[in-house]
Amino acid sequence: MTQDTVLIVGAGPSGLTAAANVAAAGYKAVIVEKEDVLGGAPILSGYAKLVPSGEWAKDAIGRMVSRVEDDDRVTIHKGVKVEKFEGEAGDFTATLSNGETVSAGATVLATGFTHFDSINKPEWGFGTFEDVLTTTQMEQMVAAGKIACPSDGRVPERVCILLCVGSRDRQIGREWCSKICCTVSANLAMEIKELSPETDVFIYYMDIRTYGLYEDKFYWKSQEEFKTKFVKARIAEVTASGDGRLLVKGEDTLVKRPIVIPFDIVVHAIGMDPNMENPEIAQVFGVGLEKHGFIERAEHYTNTCGTTRKGVYSCGAAYGPETIDDSIAQGAAAAGRAVGDLHALVQKAS
């Protein structure tokens, strides 16, 4: 009986939600996760406090993990991938890299994204200077509870966060806004100031996209309560000052003047790339990718969470840059689509 089972690929926020909702509807969920731990990017990259709840990632995502681990209707395969995927809606067979096979009536691709690799923007100093970090590394520093320059452990006088690193940049083929970096950066600026009150935090931006309810809770709050300075400037390069600090060079577009400003730590607000394994995923599951390389979304209005293949659904950051909260909502939606369509198939057969 395959029509009572949904295969879920990926165990991040959206996949974990999809599994929990499939199980709650009385169906069986089989999770296949390529990593050895569940939780996806927030756990694998060691995020600090999540936006917008302010809850520590390990606590919030930890609850999602234990919810599926404690559910008898959910089977979990860790450290394996789907290598072969055959059949049609209502009757799929997936062959895993450990040789096992899974039969399922529907599949949800909750395969997420890959963080932009700042090495692809070498002029901004990542990989060259120890004190140039990414937002995920800075999150880890916050989670560890101490703000210090990696080079010599000194407390930074000044930290700057550069927005749109690996987003909205045609030069490197990233023609999308990664949606969350503005808010995450404002949140990070507050966390830095909280841990290290003597550190001044500057955010260099093209424009600020703390959309919806993030406006006052993050943008305004970081500015008004945590004294984060927002500088409208495009950065040309990050170099060394010669006295152990970093120089951020660019143009302040409001003052219309070149700037060369010393900083102790430079943080890249890295964007969300398509999952680097998407070409393989697309081939194995027979689904299309949209022009940026994310999973191609079916007609959305009546085929919500659909892909180019019937019976294969998707959700969250697999479709494009997405917040954790919306990934969770989409995971629930994808589960609803999957079990709804399976139910319809059974009704039709009887």
Which residues contribute to the site for other proteins (CB under 8 A)? 158, 200, 208, 219-220, 223-224, 227, 229-232, 252, 254-255, 257-262
Nearer to other proteins, 56 or 211 (CB): 211
Q: Are strands 101-104 and 91-96 parallel, antiparallel or unpaired?
A: antiparallel
Residue 230 CB, nearest approach to other proteins (Å): 7
Nearer to other proteins, 145 or 212 (CB): 212
| Whole-number Å distance between alpha carbons of 3 and 347 | 11
| Whole-number Å distance between alpha carbons of 203 and 189 | 8
Residue 153 CB, nearest approach to other proteins (Å): 22
* Residue (of 158, 320, 319) closest to 245 by Cα position: 158
Task: Decide: helix, strand or coil at residue 144.
Answer: helix
Nearer to other proteins, 165 or 261 (CB): 261
Residue 168 CB, nearest approach to other proteins (Å): 19
Phi, psi of 163 (to 5 degrees): -85, 165
Helix (H) or strand (E) holding 195: helix 181-195
Nearer to other proteins, 93 or 223 (CB): 223
Residue 154 CB, nearest approach to other proteins (Å): 17
Paired residues of 5 in beta bridges: 28
Nearer to other proteins, 213 or 260 (CB): 260
**Residue 171: how many other CB atoms lie within 10 Å:** 7
Paired residues of 175 in beta bridges: none
* Residue (of 120, 192, 123, 118) closest to 160 by Cα position: 192
SS3 content of the chain, % helix, strand, coil (to 5): 30, 30, 40
Nearer to other proteins, 232 or 292 (CB): 232
Residue 259 CB, nearest approach to other proteins (Å): 5
Residue 227 CB, nearest approach to other proteins (Å): 6
